[in-house]
C-alpha cells in the first residue's frame, strides 16, 4: 500500500471515530434531557405547590407578552364584571321576554337576560309581577342603565338616588345606582313601598313617578300598565307586535321619600299580578 493510500485510510478511520463519538454524545445528551424532563414532570406531579408556582410564573410571562403586544394589561377576569347571561340558559318563558325586549328596545339579549332573570327572582320575593318591573324599566329608561333625567332620577328604573340614598348604603353607596342589578333591586323596593302606601298598582305607579299630589301623571301609569300587559302576553307565548316608542325621561316630581318609621295604619302589600 502506498503512502497516499495509508493516509486516506487513516483519515477515513479518524472521521468514522469522530462521527461515532458525536453520535454517542448526542444520544446520551438527548437521553439526559429526556430523563430530566421526566423527572421534572414527576416532581411537579408530586409537588402541587411547585406546579402552582410554575403555572403562576408562566401566566405572568404570558401576560407580560400580551401587554407588550397590545399596549395594555389584559384582564382575564373582566367577564366576571359583565351583567349578562345566555338567553338559551333561561326558562322558555323568560327567554321569550328577553328576546322580545331585545328586539323592541334594540338592546343586546345577553344583558337583558340577566335583568329578566333578576326581575323574576326579585318579583317572586317581593310579590310583584316580574313583567311589571320590566315594564317600569321599559317606560322609565328604555333599558339604558346610565340614563339620568333632568330631575335627577338615575339608572334603569330611574330611582331618585338622592332621596333613596339610604337604600344604596348596603351596596356601597350612591354610585351603585348605575349598576343594573342594584338599580333594579332598589327600584323594586321603592315600587313596593309606593304600592303599599297607595293601595293599588295603578296608584302606586302614580306615587312612583312623583305625581301623588298632582291631578294627573301625564299618562305614566297607563303606559307602564300597557307595556306590562304586552310583556305578559309575550311570556305566555303570544305574538306581540314590536313598536319602538320614544323614551321620555322623568320630568315630574320625585317619588316618595323613604320612610324612617313604619306607618301605623299602613295597609298590607297587595299581591301584584296585573
Instruction: Please give the helix or strand (H or E) that residue 159 lies within, else none.
Output: strand 159-160
Contact 113, 88 (CB under 8 A): no
pLDDT tens digits along 153-207: 999 999 999 999 999 999 999 999 999 999 999 999 999 999 999 999 999 999 9
For position 58, what pLDDT does the model report? 66
Q: State what percent of residues in the chain have pLDDT above 90.
A: 56
Band of the pLDDT at 44, cuts 50, 70, 90? Answer: low
Q: Which of 196, 216, 67, 225 is nearest to 136 (CA)?
A: 225
pLDDT at 27: 47
Average pLDDT, the chain: 79
Q: How far is CA 62 from the centre of its chain?
A: 26
Q: Residue 198 to residues 100, 129, 213, 222, 227: CA-CA distances in angstroms? A: 31, 17, 12, 16, 21
Quote the CA–CA distance of 83 and 135 in Å, as a whole number.
19
Residue ranges covered by each domain of the chain: 3-78, 87-235
From the candidate CATH numbers 3.40.640.10, 3.40.50.300, 1.10.530.10, 1.10.1740.10, the one assigned to the domain spanning 87-235: 1.10.530.10
pLDDT digits (tens, 9 = 90+) for 99-156: 999 999 999 999 999 999 999 999 999 999 999 999 999 999 999 999 999 999 999 9
Angle formed by the axes of helices 130-141 and 180-198, nearest 10°: 110
Amino acid at each position: 500500500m502506498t503512502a497516499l493510500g495509508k493516509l486516506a485510510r487513516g483519515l477515513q478511520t479518524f472521521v468514522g471515530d469522530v462521527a461515532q463519538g458525536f453520535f454517542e454524545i448526542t444520544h446520551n445528551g438527548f437521553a439526559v434531557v429526556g430523563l430530566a424532563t421526566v423527572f421534572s414532570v414527576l416532581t411537579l406531579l408530586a409537588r402541587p405547590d411547585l406546579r402552582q408556582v410554575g403555572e403562576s410564573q408562566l401566566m405572568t410571562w404570558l401576560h407580560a407578552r400580551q401587554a407588550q403586544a397590545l399596549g395594555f394589561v389584559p384582564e382575564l377576569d373582566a367577564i366576571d364584571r359583565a351583567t349578562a347571561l345566555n338567553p338559551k340558559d333561561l326558562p322558555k318563558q323568560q327567554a321569550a321576554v328577553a328576546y322580545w325586549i331585545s328586539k323592541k328596545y334594540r338592546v343586546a339579549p345577553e344583558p337583558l337576560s340577566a335583568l329578566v332573570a333578576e326581575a323574576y327572582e326579585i318579583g317572586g320575593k317581593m310579590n310583584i309581577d316580574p313583567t311589571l318591573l320590566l315594564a317600569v324599566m321599559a317606560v322609565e329608561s328604555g333599558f339604558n342603565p346610565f340614563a339620568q333625567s333632568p330631575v335627577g332620577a338615575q339608572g334603569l328604573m330611574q330611582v331618585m338616588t338622592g332621596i333613596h340614598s339610604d337604600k344604596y348604603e348596603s351596596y356601597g353607596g350612591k354610585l351603585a345606582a348605575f349598576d343594573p342589578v342594584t338599580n333594579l333591586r332598589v327600584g323594586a323596593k321603592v315600587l313596593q313601598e309606593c304600592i303599599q302606601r297607595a293601595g293599588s298598582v295603578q296608584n302606586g305607579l302614580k306615587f312612583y313617578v312623583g305625581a301623588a299630589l298632582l291631578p294627573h301623571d301625564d299618562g305614566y301609569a297607563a303606559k307602564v300598565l300597557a307595556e306590562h300587559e304586552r310583556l305578559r302576553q309575550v311570556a305566555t307565548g303570544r305574538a306581540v307586535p314590536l313598536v319602538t316608542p320614544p323614551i321620555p325621561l322623568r320630568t315630574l316630581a320625585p317619588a316618595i321619600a323613604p320612610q324612617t318609621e313604619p306607618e301605623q295604619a299602613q295597609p298590607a302589600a297587595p299581591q301584584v299580578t296585573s
